[in-house]
Amino acid sequence: MHSKNKARRTPAEQDHIDRVKALPCSVCDAPGPSEAHEPVQGLWFISIALCSDCHRGAKNGLHGQKTMWRIHKLDEWGALNITNRRLAA
Ligand SMILES: [Zn+2]
Ligand SMILES: [Zn+2]
């Protein structure tokens, strides 16, 4: 266990995560609620909204073979841009 994981989120961070999770998937557009992928541990303001398959799926997921990411020609930066654009809308 990493003690960093236990750092308490600030109210602003928790609010941001809740808004990210309410979005559709940034890769395949599956309707929310989504999961919040954290590209760098503890940096909640760069969280990316992903469905469970595009996030953790063995074939499609970011933490798997990334097939869906290749189909949509997206990397984490591109998906983050979509998440943030939707939050700003
Ligand atoms: Zn998806
Ligand atoms: Zn993740």
DSSP summary character for residue 74: -
Range 13-36 average pLDDT: 98
Which amino acid, one-letter code, is at 49? A
Alpha carbon separation from 4 to 9, 16, 41, 88 (Å, rounded): 11, 19, 8, 29
- Cβ neighbours of 6 (radius 10 Å): 7
For residue 79, give the ligand nearest its CA: 1
Q: Is the pLDDT of residue 36 over 60?
A: yes
Q: pLDDT at position 7, please?
A: 72
Q: Is the pLDDT of residue 1 over 50?
A: no
Single pTM value for the model: 0.90
Question: What separation in Å is there between the alpha carbon of 17 and the centre of ligand 2?
Answer: 13
**Average pLDDT over all residues of the chain:** 94
